[in-house]
Amino acid sequence: MPGVLRSVVTRGGLTVVLVLVSQWILEWYPISHFPMYSRFGSRSHYVYVTDENDEPLPVERDFSVRAAYLKKVYGRNFGRFHGNKKLAATTTLEFVAERKKPSVTAKQLKLKQVSIKLKKGELQQTTDELGSVDL
């Protein structure tokens, strides 16, 4: 029996064995079919923080908050406050302001949302100010 196992391993049979075992336990990694990148929606958005002069602030450097996490915090607050954008934005900015590093000189923080839509084959982009807090 050890000779058969050695033969399977050395002749590429290990791949076949792993594929068969994967099918048997219903695990398809790394060839899983997850359509997360197969289709894109016709709309998306992102949020960012600016100072009182509408200059974008590097949130990771100045507040230790990653941009993707900022969007998640705003999204949670948006749901928590039943779609009230201003209240969600204010709460999100308060969260950010609590993490302000001493080197930040801004007197005010504003949360902006950029909405991107695909309409008739063209991308359309709009920017809205959602809310602000004074520091």
**For 81-103, how does the pLDDT look when each residue is reduced to its tens digit (9 = 90+)?**
999 999 999 999 999 999 999 99
Query: What per-residue confidence (pLDDT) applies to 121?
Result: 85
Residue ranges of the chain whose pLDDT lies below 70: 1-13, 26-39
Q: Are residues 11 and 65 in the same domain?
A: no
Where helices occur in 1-135 by DSSP H, the ranges are: 2-10, 13-24, 59-63, 67-80, 85-97
Q: Are residues 85 and 119 in the same domain?
A: yes
Domain limits for position 71: 40-134
Closest CA to 59 of 134, 111, 131, 132: 111
Q: Are residues 14 and 32 in the same domain?
A: yes
**Residues 114, 4: Cα–Cα separation, whole Å:** 61
* Share above pLDDT 90 across residues of the chain, in percent, rounded to a whole number: 63
Whole-model pTM over 0.85: no
Q: Are residues 68 and 13 in the same domain?
A: no
Query: What per-residue confidence (pLDDT) applies to 31?
Result: 62
Q: Are residues 26 and 47 in the same domain?
A: no
Query: What per-residue confidence (pLDDT) applies to 21?
Result: 78
Q: Are residues 78 and 18 in the same domain?
A: no
